[in-house]
Structure 1
Amino acid sequence: MDSPRVDDLSTALFSAISLVVRRLRQTAAPGEPSLPERSALARLDRNGPATAADLARAEQISPQAMGITLASLEERGLVERRRDEEDRRRSVTVVTEAGREALRLKRSARAAAIAAGLADGFTDEELRTLAAAAPLIQRLAEKI
């Protein structure tokens, strides 16, 4: 079998991933963190404390937009600001236990939605193919 053309594959992946993201966004419950808020929470949970500027760069948004996002999260007790232990002149944001719980609940809801979809009509071979593709999609996301 010939290798797929990169342009064709990128278009197909973009379309498929966009549809998955749109469907998962539809599972949002009122009052839960928005997508930018979840993204910032997840990054803090994965990578540990960070400055607002570092988060803005990582999320590819303006520092002002990140400031608004963090203020909303802080107001709801999902993150807190602390003095940076390495440079006491600046502050870093850390995810709180309530923030971790909000992430866990949302991950559980999205994972359950995906599991229900996978359980409905995928063959064992298709499930193995998706299992093999998952780390590759993760690696692709990290390179974008």
Structure 2
Amino acid sequence: MSEQAAESPSTYEDALDVARSIQPALNKLMLIFQRTTEGSSLTTSQVSIMNQLRLRGPSRVSTIAQAELIRMPTASNALYQLERHGFVERHRDDKDRRGVLVALTQLGESELNIVSRQRAAALAEILQWMEPKDLQEARQMSSLIAKLADVYRPTMN
């Protein structure tokens, strides 16, 4: 895997070097996020799915699976669990009656708001200990972090 992919603008070696330097902090932040939402019945994956529904609106299971980089059965199972808790609901697609759309419910929106506030507060607790210039640098990096979250889209088989 040391060769540069035809579509990627950077080399694998450079990317691996950066990944090794980011990974420990990223692991720690992920753990903090998971721990701050321990009072919620939602898993990190379920929160991600609910965020997709908030951003995109009602969606087909296949669209959710593709956006979340998971397989259809995994998406269906996660949505079933969310539906059991009343966080999402399914309804027929008005444009194609054969299709089913999944939408966030008011309860789901409320729970997602709670989890999002908890995670933002946990991150703010960490960020407040940074020097003002470092905090400003973190603010400037936020768009790069968002791009990092969106740039990689492997082919799902």
TM-score in same-fold range (> 0.5): yes
Secondary structure of the corresponding residue to residue 42 of structure 2: coil
The percentage of aligned residue pairs carrying the same residue is 27
Q: Alignment partner for residue 62 of structure 2, among 42, 53, 75?
A: 53
Please give the alpha-carbon distance, in whole angstroms, between the structure 1 residues aligned to 2:58 and 2:22.
Answer: 32
Structure 2: distance between partners of 1:76 and 1:124:
42
Give distance in 2, aligned partners of 1:30 and 1:128: 31
Matched, 1:139 2:147: yes
Q: Residues 1-144 of structure 1 correspond to what in structure 2 (within 5 A)?
A: 5-120=14-129, 122-144=130-152
Q: Which moved more, 1:100-109 or 1:30-39?
A: 30-39
Secondary structure of the structure 2 residue equivalent to 1:32:
coil
Structure 1 unpaired stretches of 5+ = none
RMSD of aligned alpha carbons: 1.3
Q: Residue 130 of structure 1 aligns to which amino acid in structure 2?
A: A
Quote how far apart the aligned CAs of 1:31 are: 4.4
Distance 1:42 1:105 in 2: 12
Runs of 4+ in 1 over 3 A off after TM superposition: none
Q: CA deviation at 1:35?
A: 1.3
**CA displacement at 1:136 relative to structure 2:** 0.5
Alpha-carbon displacement from aligned partner over 1:57-112 (angstroms, at most 9, x marks no partner): 22121211111111111111100001112111111000011111111100101111
**Superposition TM-score, scaled by structure 1 size:** 0.90
Alpha-carbon distance in 2 for matches of 1:6, 1:29 = 33
